[in-house]
Amino acid sequence: MPALRIEKKSGEWKVAPQLRDYEALRESFSWAKAAAEELQGLPGGRGLNIGFEAVDRHALGARSEQCAIRFLQREGGHEDFSYGRLYEATNRFANLLASLGLKKGDRVFGLLGRVPELYVTALGALKAGAVFCPLFSAFGPEPIQTRLSLGEGKLLVTTAALYQKKVAAIRASLPYLKHVILVDAAARPDTIGWREAMSNASPDFVVPPTDPEDLALLHFTSGTTGKPKGALHVHQAILAHHVTGRLALDFRAGDVFWCTADPGWVTGTSYGILSPLSNGVTMVVDAQDFDAQRWYQILEEQRVSVWYTAPTAVRMMMKGGSELSRGRDLSRLRFIASVGEPLNPEAVLWGVEALGLPIHDNWWQTETGGIMIANYAAMDIKPGSMGRPLPGIEAGVVRRREDGSVEVLPDGEPGELALRPGWPSMFRGYLNEEARYRKCFAGNWYLTGDLAKRDTEGYYWFVGRADDMIKSAGHLIGPFEVESALLEHAAVAEAGVIGKPDSTVGEVVKAFVSLKPGYEAGETLKRELLGFARTRLGAAVAPKEIDILPALPRTRSGKILRRLLKARELGLPEGDTSTLEGGA
């Protein structure tokens, strides 16, 4: 493990972090107390509703005029939604659902990019008691069809172009789908026009009684390890969204927050909509996809104070070179965090160089609904570590025994990362896969499918996904370690590492890399990279083979698809590729 440490000195804060004394807060924290202090609950003791906490309580309170979301348009320009405006729009959408005959628990799907209608759909559906499910707008017809039928989607909100291209032809095969709303078209025989329907709906709406255990969200996993699973979440999840936003992203009044996640992925909802709004901050949403220049410009011009992004995006910015950040006034930026994949130590340090701040890695999954392990503003960072569990979260590194019981492993030993069930945003099931859900639990632990180690200071270190581990000549090798070492080489932009079956040693480590601009692929560079990795990792762990690819296959949420690299290497079927970026 790298010995490097970025110290946080308490005398140097511009503003004191929300979580100052980690140990003390862990000690005193309880979810019940947090719920009483940080959420409002529906008036009259009628329960807890995500939409109410995210929008109504602010709109009906002191934040009605405050900007809730600033939408940056592709061609420049922006549209602001105050909490008051968002309240009215979501009220109208909730009324529209009732007029279409949608009932509590019915599924509302969004197939939209980062446009205002997506946010109104999600929040309005939650207020009405419907279950919201986002889809990647880049999905092709097949993944859309699978998810809409599995999820029994009753209403779909999309654009005219997306509908024409991807949904019209499969509509007849979707018996549950009763209505389609097009956000940018007038009513047609088989679709509803957003504008007209919204203006006919009343702007007054009272959120109906909502049990904290009522279903609220359906999120399909990224499909990194196989066929995506549909994780079900309940209204109570908002407590975890809220608390983790405050403690792990350091939200406070006056913040301008930018989450770059695609709305089709769980991060795009938990932290791209719900957590920041519940915390009453102002969000920036950019309709455009990644562009390094544009991103620096947004950080500067929108005076972003808290930024939440992903390792892929960071690596793409690194590829562009830190010169792009020169001359930018990023003095408003106070906190940067990343999620989705391991954040290589190289990337944490690049943050300091290019943005003036380290990047704080945090770990969670679709199933956990919110951040579980994090590097906090006030805590030293050990680059390469995911940080420590949130207050209210008990984590452990365990081994599942043959008899189904679970053994907690000592510090330093790699094992499966496990969490004690009971936090509010924990998934309540996999859609139609009860047995698979049950298999995730053993000995009063939820087993995450990720392998990790904990050090003596309680920091967690990601080792790899259980499925990606490589067994070579008696060594268990995590791809992350090997990939991080390769990324230290100036030529390497991305790295993905797999185990390739070998009759002598079981598996040999094989690496795939893509290069930064200005570097030439060829045998000389390959040899250099293999030698470079060997000096850093030793012969037992270093890759024996390396291929240079123009780009690595990734999921739409930005994760390197190692199983696809492996299938292609071995000439095996590619399996479910519905979430492959650039795929159909």
Could you give the CA distance from residue 243 to residue 278 in angstroms, rounded to a whole number?
Answer: 9
- Please, which residue, 376 or 532, has the CB nearer to ligand ATP? 376
Contact yes or no for 308/339 (Cβ under 8 A): yes
C-alpha gyration radius of the chain: 23
Residue 546 binding target from Mg ion, ligand ATP, none, CB below 5 to 8 Å by type: none
Query: Quick one: tokens of 180?
Result: 């389609």
- Which residues contribute to the site for Mg ion (CB under 5 A)? 221
Identify the H or E element spanning 117: helix 116-128
Could you give the CA distance from residue 116 to residue 69 in angstroms, rounded to a whole number?
Answer: 9
Contact yes or no for 249/18 (Cβ under 8 A): no
What crossing angle do the helices spanning 31-38 and 237-248 adopt, rounded to 10°? 80
Taking the complex as a whole, the smallest distance from the CB of residue 450 to Mg ion amounts, in Å, to 8
- Which residues contribute to the site for ligand ATP (CB under 6 A)? 221-226, 228-229, 266, 339-342, 361-363, 365-366, 386, 448, 450, 462, 465, 557, 559
- Please, which residue, 258 or 363, has the CB nearer to Mg ion? 363
- Please, which residue, 81 or 480, has the CB nearer to ligand ATP? 480
Collapse the DSSP code of 403 into the 3-class scheme (helix H, G, I; strand E, B; otherwise coil) and give the result.
Answer: coil
- Please, which residue, 140 or 254, has the CB nearer to ligand ATP? 140
Taking the complex as a whole, the smallest distance from the CB of residue 345 to ligand ATP amounts, in Å, to 12
Taking the complex as a whole, the smallest distance from the CB of residue 222 to ligand ATP amounts, in Å, to 3
- Please, which residue, 393 or 492, has the CB nearer to Mg ion? 393
- Please, which residue, 221 or 302, has the CB nearer to Mg ion? 221
Taking the complex as a whole, the smallest distance from the CB of residue 132 to ligand ATP amounts, in Å, to 17
Residue 134 binding target from ligand ATP, Mg ion, none, CB below 5 to 8 Å by type: none
Residue 531 binding target from ligand ATP, Mg ion, none, CB below 5 to 8 Å by type: none
Could you give the CA distance from residue 159 to residue 65 in angstroms, rounded to a whole number?
Answer: 29
Taking the complex as a whole, the smallest distance from the CB of residue 384 to ligand ATP amounts, in Å, to 10
Taking the complex as a whole, the smallest distance from the CB of residue 226 to ligand ATP amounts, in Å, to 6
Contact yes or no for 151/111 (Cβ under 8 A): no
Taking the complex as a whole, the smallest distance from the CB of residue 223 to ligand ATP amounts, in Å, to 4
**Which residues have a Cβ under 8 Å from the Cβ of 470 and sit 6 or more positions away?**
476, 477, 478, 479, 497, 498, 499, 507, 509
Taking the complex as a whole, the smallest distance from the CB of residue 227 to ligand ATP amounts, in Å, to 7
Q: For CA atoms 68, 118, 216, 231, give the dihedral sign.
A: negative
Residue 153 binding target from Mg ion, ligand ATP, none, CB below 5 to 8 Å by type: none
Taking the complex as a whole, the smallest distance from the CB of residue 373 to ligand ATP amounts, in Å, to 8
- Please, which residue, 103 or 436, has the CB nearer to Mg ion? 436
Beta strand 388-389 with 373-374 is antiparallel
Residue 450 binding target from Mg ion, ligand ATP, none, CB below 5 to 8 Å by type: ligand ATP
Residue 341 binding target from ligand ATP, Mg ion, none, CB below 5 to 8 Å by type: ligand ATP
Query: Quick one: tokens of 216?
Result: 């609220």
Q: Rounded to the nearest 5 degrees, what angle is found at the Cα of 229, between the Cα atoms of 261 and 398?
A: 90
For the chain, give me the number of helices (H) and strands (E)? 19, 28
Look up tokens 């005219």; give the residue. Answer: 160
Burial class of 416 by CB neighbour count within 10 A (0 to 12, 13 to 18, 19+): buried
- Please, which residue, 49 or 365, has the CB nearer to ligand ATP? 365
Q: Name residue 434's amino acid.
A: E
Residue 191 binding target from ligand ATP, Mg ion, none, CB below 5 to 8 Å by type: none
1, 112, 579 from 582: Cα distances, Å: 35, 17, 9
Taking the complex as a whole, the smallest distance from the CB of residue 472 to Mg ion amounts, in Å, to 24
State the number of CA atoms in the 13 A half-sphere of 490 facing the CB. 4
User: What string of DSSP letters covers 510-537?
Assistant: EEEEEE-TT---SHHHHHHHHHHHHHHH
Contact yes or no for 283/69 (Cβ under 8 A): yes
Could you give the CA distance from residue 432 to residue 150 in angstroms, rounded to a whole number?
Answer: 8
Taking the complex as a whole, the smallest distance from the CB of residue 364 to ligand ATP amounts, in Å, to 6
Question: For the chain, how are helix, strand and coil distributed in percent, rounded to 5?
Answer: 35, 25, 40
- In the complex, residue closest to Mg ion by CB: 221
Could you give the CA distance from residue 70 to residue 417 in angstroms, rounded to a whole number?
Answer: 38
Residue 416 binding target from Mg ion, ligand ATP, none, CB below 5 to 8 Å by type: none
- Please, which residue, 51 or 268, has the CB nearer to ligand ATP? 268
Taking the complex as a whole, the smallest distance from the CB of residue 65 to Mg ion amounts, in Å, to 41
Residue 255 binding target from Mg ion, ligand ATP, none, CB below 5 to 8 Å by type: none
Quote the strand ranges of 341-385, DSSP E.
359-363, 373-374
Residue 361 binding target from ligand ATP, Mg ion, none, CB below 5 to 8 Å by type: ligand ATP
- Please, which residue, 5 or 227, has the CB nearer to Mg ion? 227
Could you give the CA distance from residue 542 to residue 526 in angstroms, rounded to a whole number?
Answer: 13
- Please, which residue, 325 or 338, has the CB nearer to ligand ATP? 338
Residue 363 binding target from Mg ion, ligand ATP, none, CB below 5 to 8 Å by type: ligand ATP
- Please, which residue, 226 or 501, has the CB nearer to ligand ATP? 226
